Amino acid sequence: KLWLQIDKWNTPFLYYESLPNGVGSNDVGLDRGQPGKTNVVHFERIGPRVLLVAENEDYRAITDDPEQKKAVQQAFAQSVLWGFESAAQNEDGDSVLVDATPFFLSDAHEVAARLATLKQGSYHVDSSRSAIYLPRTKNFPENTDVESTLTFVGENPGQWIEEVTPDPRAITVHEHFSFIQAPPDGFHLRAEDPRCSFFGIGYMDFATPVDQPIIKRYIAHFRLAKKDPSAALSEPVKPIVYYVDRAIPEPIRSAVLEGTAWWNTAFTAAGYKDAFQVKLLPEGVDPMDIRYNVIEWVPRETRGWAYGNAIHDPRTGEIINGHVNLDALRIRQVFLIAQGLLDPFGNDPDALKKANEMALARLRQLAAHETGHTLGLMHNYAASIVNRSSVMDYPPPTVTLGADGRPDVSNAYAVGIGEWDKVSITYGYSDFSQQDEKSETAALDKILDDAFARGLLYLTDQDARPIGSASSAAHLWDTGKTPIDGLKQVMAVRAATLKNLSEDAIPEHTPIATLEDVLVPMYLYHRYQVAAVSKSIGGLDYTFNLRGGHNKAPQIVPAADQRSSLRAVLDTLSPQVLALPDSLL
């Protein structure tokens, strides 16, 4: 049993759940390290009954009038997440002891519901095969963390579950529960602008005057302030420090340290001196301790996603912890691409060195990208066509052909933070504490207006990912100033690579059959660029606009450009393009 002593009543704190040990199937989508929900909660006591109550932060009345506040609270439901029974209390009755074991053995992450939705079977937690996992059940100064081993039992398992479990009738995972001390008052809210690249919070404020928007939106960001707000460049009151997992092997560790540290350039542009720091995680520090923002190394059997997750206060958007999960196999995926491009196991002594450096360059960019998410930033999928202006884009390797007709990977991945990233951090973290709200709004508008006047662009997932999205500028893994320019370059590199691909792409004494592993990403080397070009067919050129702003109006892609895009896509389907060279066959 795990007992919980409760002595703070009606005091808000944060409750965060996650999935540290997952199912292992990309199709199921219950991955190791998967973040969950964050709620503002408090304990209430009614006689011997103790309730864990999740507060409804979506509907508020920001006012000093208690009657207005009460009206909103009574109008919208709260959620009692659990009920406990008091087993003992102190003499004054203000501190009680409850058996919290059933709560911590519950399916907070909704694993069973996920499996049922995907038609992978009907499962429930078997308490006889579940227990508190003590090695990761700990107290820290600002958080209490509990982890549980949960076994889900069921019948009629689906194929995806059968593929990844020893016995598909018993699926054992871990779920993690974090009780986190609420941040102190004094955090400065910053209004969200759809043209900035921050995610954040939103709620309805029923105390808002009728001539103003009732929905309030604020960005998520760390608490950061200058020691001297009047100085153009000042040290921070408290820097943002990230720690890199000691388990990361060299030379990857150095690449991750270097790539993560790029963000200090952006904070310098925002007026701070050494506000963003990167260090090696001290020995003995547990990554669950939220005082440490951690970049954690995640070995897996097969390549998975890297994640950048920020735990933030749902009341304010204040980020209190950043945690990056770096997939240990991602570098091998990039090296596989380098194998196809460079044939690194042949007679060129520099080819293997170039392949390794290309893979490390991608890891620097990946570390910066995922850390950017933990700083509050969303993707910018329009950055690639503006001189690779953001690490928050998805970057393909930018490869050209040298004078010898072979791929040149010396500029495969951008080095350093992008211009849009500097704009984003300046928007989110500039210290305007000496200005009133109207002056701050004007200053924030100027930051974005100046950026767009310089030709920078911002579009995100909603514009790039849906199959039916109309944007002609937002694409994943695209390259070139225009999609067609990028496709011409990519197709030329693909043709040269397939022509030259040989046994030198794989190491000595490896099965010849593994040459197919190298061939596949080279044969499909153009697939994302084809998708980018195809979005110009019937496409729309647009940006996010505000009334009174300076952004251009939406425009249909010109007919001539649409026809060129159609021809370019059809060209990729010609037999000459699809055929493999006889020598390779």
Using CA atoms, how far residue 427 sits from 251, 252, 372, 442, in Å, is 34, 31, 14, 11
Percent of the chain residues topping a pLDDT of 70: 99
Q: What was the pLDDT predicted at 303?
A: 74
Q: Which two tokens stand for residue 571?
A: 């060209």
For position 27, what pLDDT does the model report?
A: 84
pTM across the whole model: 0.94
CB count in 10 Å sphere of residue 156: 12
Q: Whose CA is closest to 65, among 206, 238, 242, 214?
A: 206
Helix (H) or strand (E) holding 493: helix 483-500
Provide the pLDDT confidence category of residue 541 given band limits of 50, 70 and 90: very high
286 CB contacts (<8 Å, ≥6 apart)? 138, 140
Check whether 243 has a pLDDT greater than 90: yes
User: Is the pLDDT reported for residue 344 higher than 80?
Assistant: yes
Per-residue H/E/C for 275-287: CEEEEECCCCCCC
CB 398 within 8 A of CB 423: no
Task: Please state the rounded mean pLDDT for residues 553-571.
Answer: 96
pLDDT tens profile 64-93: 999 999 999 999 999 999 999 999 999 888
Instruction: Give tens-digit pLDDT for 460-513.
Output: 999 998 766 889 999 999 999 999 999 999 999 999 999 999 999 999 999 999
Per-residue pLDDT band at 286 (split at 50, 70, 90): confident
Mean pLDDT of the chain: 94
pLDDT reported for residue 467: 67
26 has pLDDT over 80:
no
What sign results for the dihedral spanned by CA atoms 164, 165, 169, 171?
Answer: negative
The pLDDT of residue 20: 86
